Amino acid sequence: MLSLSGVSAAYGKSQVLRGIDLSVGPGESVSLLGRNGVGKTTLLRTIVGHHAAASGSIAFLGDDVTAQPAYKRARRGIGYVPQGRGIFSHLTVDENLRLGAAGSPRSRTAEAIPSYIFELFPVLQRVGQRKGGVLSGGEQQQLAIARAMVAQPKLLILDEPTEGIQPSIVQQIEESLREIRTRLKVAILLVEQYLDFAWSIADRFYVMRRGQIVLEGNPRESDPSSVHHLLSV
């Protein structure tokens, strides 16, 4: 579904990504791990089109999207939940969701919110008329994921979805992501610092250091201590 080959990226003369090879298959859940500052967020931004690749290629659903702008990649089926959530704090929950739906070519109307959204995130139905800025951190994160999902993506990309979230809400988010993957058949690419969370939902994982992939594996066949070591050095 998603395939990166030799992708590099930079900010000015500062090289951030170096020859990244990465893939996500249909319906697969992949975790991207690494310490702060190794290039994980830049990699996600490059995949979704918010940052230009300096070299290499990005293919989605068999087509080269390396030069496509972000909105075209979104319309092809890439959903993105950025670090920090990125919701519109001055809009209500319902307005945030309708805005996400309006960007989908598969929506029949600008206000089409699929019914499964409130099955995945029941709290959003109860707070539908509240402004996004007054929600708790956990509610904001659920809104950010829901807003990406109303566009009915084929691939959902999430950057640190558990950051600053209390454990009970982390559990709810984990359960929702499992439903998104198993029931809705949406593939997931997840950047996460919380290893136990990333490990629990991943079919495969990658570990980054200094802008490169240094380890790839299957959680059920890998020693978590080796990953912990890479995340701590």
pLDDT tens figures, 24-39: 999 999 999 998 889 9
Distance of alpha carbon 52 from alpha carbon 58, whole angstroms? 11
Confidence of residue 184 (pLDDT cuts 50, 70, 90): very high
Distance of alpha carbon 197 from alpha carbon 35, whole angstroms? 15
Domain around 173? 2-232
Q: Give per-residue pLDDT as tens, 45-73.
A: 999 999 999 999 999 999 999 999 999 99
* 3-class state of residue 230 by DSSP: helix
Decide if 85 contacts 144 (C-beta within 8 A): yes
The pTM (predicted TM-score) of the whole model is 0.92
Structural domain count, the chain: 1
CATH number for the domain spanning 66: value is 3.40.50.300
Distance of alpha carbon 112 from alpha carbon 100, whole angstroms? 9
Identity of the amino acid at 209 = R
Q: Which residue has the tokens 């298959």?
A: 25
